[in-house]
Amino acid sequence: MGTLALKGFFLNAPQKSRSTVVDKTKNSASMRVESQSGSPLPNPFSSALGSTMKMIRYALAGLLLSLSSTSALAGQTWWIDDSGGAGIDFTDIQPAINAASAGDLLIVHPGTYSGFNLGKNLTIMGFNVNHTSVVNGTVTIANLTSPGRAVLTGLRLKAMNLNSNGAPVILDSIRINPAFAGTGVVTINNCFDVRMYQCNVTAPMGTAVAGSNGVEAVNSRLEVVDSYLAGAEGFYVGCSGDAGDGGSALWASNNSIISVFQTTCDGGPGGQTDGFCEWSDPYGGDGGDGIYLRGGSRAVIAGDATDTIMFGWEGWGDSFPIFTDGARGYGMALAGGSIARYSGVNMTSTLIQAGSLATLAVPADPYLERTGTLQAGRKQTFWIYGTPGDQVTFYLGRSPLVTIDGTQEMDNLVTHERAYTLGAIPATGRLKYEFTVPTFFPDGFSFYSQAEVTTSSGSRLTNSIPIVLRYL
């Protein structure tokens, strides 16, 4: 079968790891497009198809198979295990980063590791999908420069600081939760492009009075997809004073640009008092907000009713002689000229201060979802959600990018090495597109997807989704 080679698409891909056998005889790709009802649209591998579907067939095959004709793949694989042993390069992550060059892959075995500083465009991957590669310290990623990007996937962390990054930072399947003491937050300052996909950030109660925010973004661009964020509970103070306020799940300021798709954001509950403090009357803490925007920040929020932007509950105060409970937070709070557009999600409540604006998008903004195990030979399924009858174009690209599109709420977020015209969204409101990843793709290899939905009144772009391949 002839293919259209996509020259350069797989340059800078990491080499195969020692644990993966390259089998270039298994180089067939399959793709299927169907509606939610289960009725298949034309099979692009059928000989009876017209020229349009044949072009999709050959284009997809070219994208997926051109790796086999690439004579040399840039990048080296480094193996890290805190127990050492044969075939292990390092026992901690920082020395591996120091030795690695841009484009290398670091694979981290299950174990416990120190925090680290990253200023190179590397991929750091936990050994398996169970998040047993634990970093018991703060991870700092700072001063990355384009071209390239940093990718972290499959790790469990204590906290993360992202500072002054001019290149994309991809956080794929990262866990930050109360199993560790400390703030437990992700802080993002002056970063050009940060993407969180299938991440879980749950800020624990700290030692300060106020609870920590789950994710903080300052003067940064952030996309959060298919994730869970939670602010911390305010600190419990007994009868010694007022309890702490809960933290926000997502807090953004200083003209940050935020996209939140298929994500639940839970504001932290306010801290509590003992409830019977006689005459001291301490107040319970106020609940945190699901999403809080200030300082001219703007956000697009989309998903379905299972995605909840939830206020934090008020903390209990004293009950005698007067009730001194805190105030309930808001699902979304806007201040300082911030703007938000939302649709589809369960928005529990809003607070819109003077000079800010919240708009319910009608019809709802489209969004993109992926399912499937990211392993050799496994099928990847994408769902494009939108208004029935709208036309869909699906993009696959080698790299993330940000191209400002002043005519749409969302910007172009992937390079368009391949574009597939999939047809109309059916009456169910979602269109299915799938393909099988060849077995010879290397560990840590990543590519990126986004869809464009065209209506009678114009086009709208979905969120992006990174695809970071894992064979372990």
Question: At residue 418, does pLDDT exceed 80?
Answer: yes
Query: Does residue 349 have a pLDDT over 50?
Result: yes
pLDDT value, residue 128: 79
Residue 436: per-residue pLDDT: 85
- Please determine, for residue 47, whether its predicted confidence score (pLDDT) is greater than 60: no
C-alpha 215/C-alpha 264 separation (Å) is 13
> How far is Cα 403 from Cα 427, in angstroms, rounded to an integer?
32
Reply yes or no on whether the pLDDT at 43 is more than 60: no
Question: Confidence band (pLDDT; 50, 70, 90) for 372?
Answer: confident
The answer on pLDDT for 48 being more than 50 is no
Average the pLDDT over 244-263 and give the result.
Answer: 95
pLDDT at 1: 29
- Average pLDDT, integer, range 2-19: 34
Residue 192: per-residue pLDDT? 94
Lowest mean pLDDT among 240-244, 272-276, 386-390, 404-408: 404-408
pLDDT value for 320: 58
- For position 62, what pLDDT does the model report? 53
Whether the predicted pLDDT of 38 surpasses 60:
no
* Res 322: pLDDT: 63
**What pLDDT digit, counting tens, does each position of 190-215 carry?**
999 999 999 999 887 755 566 789 99
Q: List pLDDT tens digits, range 107-134.
A: 999 999 999 999 999 999 998 778 899 9
Q: What is the mean pLDDT of residues 146-162?
A: 93
Q: Is the pLDDT of residue 82 over 50?
A: yes
- Indicate whether 13 pLDDT > 60: no
Residue given tokens 């699901």 in the structure block: 290
Q: Which residue has the higher pLDDT, 51 or 277?
A: 277
Average pLDDT over residues 9-29: 34
Alpha carbons 303 and 211: distance in angstroms, whole number: 27
The three-state DSSP-derived secondary structure of the chain is CCCCCCCCCCCCCCCCCCCCCCCCCCCCCCEEEEECCCCECCCCCCCCCCHHHHHHHHHHHHHHHHHHHCCCCCCCEEEECCCCCCCCCECCHHHHHHHCCCCCEEEECCEEECCEEECCCCEEEECCCCCCEEEEEEEEEECCCCCCCEEEECCEEEEEEEECCCCCEEEECCEECCCCCCCCCEEEECCCCEEEECCEEECCCCCCCCCCCCEEEECCEEEEECCEEECCCCCCCECCCCCCCCCCCEEEECCCEEEEECCEEECCCCCCECCCCCCCCCCCCCCCCCEEECCCCEEEEECCCCCEEECCCCCCCCCCCCCCCCCCCCCEEECCCCEEEEECCEECCEEECCCCEEEECCCCCCEEEEECCCCCCCEEEEEEECCCCCEEEEEEECCEEEECCCCCCCCEEECCCEEEEEEECCCCCEEEEEEECCCCCCCCCEEEEEEEEEECCEEEEEEEEEEECCCC
Mean pLDDT for 376-389 is: 91
pLDDT of residue 131: 87
The model's pLDDT over 281-335, given as tens digits with 9 standing for 90+, comes to 788 889 999 999 999 999 999 999 999 999 999 988 766 556 678 899 999 999 9
pLDDT digits (tens, 9 = 90+) for 421-465: 999 999 999 999 998 887 788 888 898 999 999 988 889 999 999
CB-CB neighbours of 124 under 10 Å: 28
For residue 9, pLDDT beyond 70: no
Please report, for residues 34, 431, 451, the alpha-carbon distance to residue 428 in angstroms, rounded to integers and kept in the order given.
11, 8, 18
Per-residue pLDDT for 369 more than 60?
Answer: yes
- Mean pLDDT value of segment 358-381: 90
CB 243 within 8 A of CB 234: yes
- Percent of the chain with pLDDT strictly greater than 90: 59
With cut-offs at 50, 70 and 90, classify the pLDDT of residue 374.
Answer: confident
pLDDT score at 472 = 60
- Predicted pLDDT at 209: 64
Question: In the chain, pLDDT over 70 holds for what percent of residues?
Answer: 78
Over range 415-419, report the average pLDDT: 92
d(CA 174, CA 200): 6
Taking all residues of the chain, what is their mean pLDDT, rounded to a whole number?
Answer: 82
Q: Using 50, 70 and 90 to split pLDDT, how confident is the model at 148?
A: confident
For residue 63, is pLDDT > 80? no
Mean pLDDT of 273-277: 71
Query: Alpha-carbon distance 61 to 66, whole Å?
Result: 8
pLDDT of residue 16: 35
What residues have CB less than 8 Å from 86, skipping those under 6 apart? none
Q: Give me the mean pLDDT over the 262-271 stretch.
A: 95
> How many other C-beta atoms are found inside a 10 Å radius of the C-beta of residue 119?
15
